[in-house]
């Protein structure tokens, strides 16, 4: 099962974000640029973190920002943001974050297989540092597709 | 045996926990029904669960339960999942 679509326009390399909110907005901008989500999706992802805390930081250095399926989602999609300077989300173990993934899912049914592929990518502990160090979008796509 | 992975939306992070918990259980030779759910439906989703897998942020919201609540720090660390599931189930 393939990952949710990750086109180059959904990838931002070496971004400057001063806060976790700015970092999540960059991931939302990537989803908007690739046509996966509308502009309001960023604030929905931020609201999830405000409501539930920094649980989206699911591994050291990695945040998986997402909200629920809804009118702000156009189609399934992924975005990747790498940060020039890591930012803190307030997570007790996994801060600071250098890679932010944005995930948009159109419907709960059937999303599991594509999200499972994320586990295949990141169960390899070298994936997060390799993405954080990537110099271009093509390298990030190759790592996410497990081509290198 | 029933295991429920809990996150804020019931997609994304809890789905990753579900997938990796299934892999660890298969490695351990244990059979379990693993589902993913959002924290607002934890009462019904985990009513008959033996184990709840989640992040520290949700422990308070999950509240009183008969299930063993396991907090996972690194969702991609299969060794952490193995150690904590073995301790809980063994």
A39-73 pLDDT, tens per residue? 999 999 999 999 999 999 999 999 999 999 999 99
pLDDT at A110 over 80: no
Establish if B90 belongs to a structural domain: no
| Parallel, antiparallel or unpaired: strands A62-66 and A97-104 | parallel
Establish if B85 belongs to a structural domain: no
Establish if B87 belongs to a structural domain: no
Tell me what the mean pLDDT of segment B41-51 comes to.
Answer: 89
Establish if B37 belongs to a structural domain: yes
- Nearest CA-CA distance, residue A54 and chain B, Å: 7
Confidence at B34, pLDDT banded by 50, 70, 90 = very high
Domain count, chain B: 1
pLDDT at A138 over 90: yes
Establish if B61 belongs to a structural domain: yes
Q: How far is CA B19 from CA A26, A73, A98, A114, A144, in A?
A: 28, 24, 24, 11, 17
Confidence at A148, pLDDT banded by 50, 70, 90 = low
Which CATH number goes with the domain that contains B9?
Answer: 3.40.50.2300
Residue ranges of domains in chain A, CATH in brackets: 8-144 (3.40.930.10)
Establish if B29 belongs to a structural domain: yes
Q: Which chain B residues touch A92 with a CB distance below 8 Å? A: 56
Average pLDDT, chain B: 92
Residue B32 exposed, middle or buried by CB count within 10 Å (0-12, 13-18, 19+): middle
pLDDT above 90: percentage of residues in chain A: 88
Contact predicate B15/A66, CB 8 Å: no
Q: Which chain A residues touch B8 with a CB distance below 8 Å? A: 48, 51-52, 55-56
- Nearest CA-CA distance, residue B42 and chain A, Å: 14
Nearest to A119 among B11, B19, B36 (CB): B19
- DSSP symbol at A71: T
Nearest to B76 among A59, A68, A111 (CB): A59
DSSP, collapsed to helix, strand or coil, labels residue A7 as: coil
pLDDT score for B10: 79
Mutate to test the interface with A, among B10, B13, B71 (most CBs of A within 10 A): B13
pLDDT at A1 over 70: no
Q: Which two tokens stand for residue A130?
A: 């390799």
Count other Cβ atoms within 10 Å, centred on residue B87.
10
Tell me what the mean pLDDT of segment B67-89 comes to.
Answer: 96
Count other Cβ atoms within 10 Å, centred on residue A78.
26
Contact predicate A97/A57, CB 8 Å: yes
Establish if B39 belongs to a structural domain: yes
Confidence at B45, pLDDT banded by 50, 70, 90 = confident
Give this complex's ipTM: 0.91
Across chain A, where does the E strand assignment appear?
11-15, 62-66, 77-87, 97-104
Q: Which chain B residues touch A93 with a CB distance below 8 Å? A: 73-74
Tell me what the mean pLDDT of segment B55-83 comes to.
Answer: 94
Cβ–Cβ below 8 Å for B58 and A116: no
Domain that holds residue B30: 2-78
pLDDT score for A87: 98
Which residues have CB under 8 Å from B83's CB, separation 6+?
Answer: none
Average pLDDT, chain A: 95
Nearest to B78 among A51, A68, A123 (CB): A123
Confidence at A144, pLDDT banded by 50, 70, 90 = very high
| Angle in degrees, CA A82, A132, A54, rounded to 5 | 65
């Amino acid at each position: 099962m393939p990952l949710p679509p990750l086109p180059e326009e959904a990838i931002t390399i070496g971004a400057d974000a001063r806060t976790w909110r700015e970092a999540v907005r960059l991931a939302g901008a990537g989803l908007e640029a690739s046509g996966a989500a509308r502009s309001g999706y960023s604030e929905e992802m931020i609201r999830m973190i405000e409501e539930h805390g920094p649980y989206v930081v699911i591994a050291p250095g990695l945040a998986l920002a997402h909200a629920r399926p809804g009118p702000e989602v156009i189609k399934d999609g992924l975005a990747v943001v790498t940060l020039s300077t890591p930012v803190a989300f307030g997570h007790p173990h996994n801060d600071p974050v250098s890679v932010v993934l944005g995930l948009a899912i159109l419907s709960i049914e059937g999303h599991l297989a594509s999200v499972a592929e994320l586990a295949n990518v990141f169960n390899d502990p070298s994936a997060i540092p390799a993405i954080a160090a990537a110099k271009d979008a093509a390298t990030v796509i190759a790592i996410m597709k497990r081509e290198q | 045996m029933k295991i429920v992975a809990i996150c804020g939306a019931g997609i994304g992070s809890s789905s990753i926990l579900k997938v990796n918990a299934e892999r660890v259980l298969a490695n351990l030779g244990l059979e379990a029904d693993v589902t993913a759910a959002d924290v607002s439906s934890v009462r019904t989703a985990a009513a008959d669960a033996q184990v709840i897998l989640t992040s520290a942020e949700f422990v308070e919201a999950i509240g009183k339960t008969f299930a063993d609540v396991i907090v996972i720090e690194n969702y991609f660390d299969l060794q952490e999942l193995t150690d904590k599931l073995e301790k809980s189930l063994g």
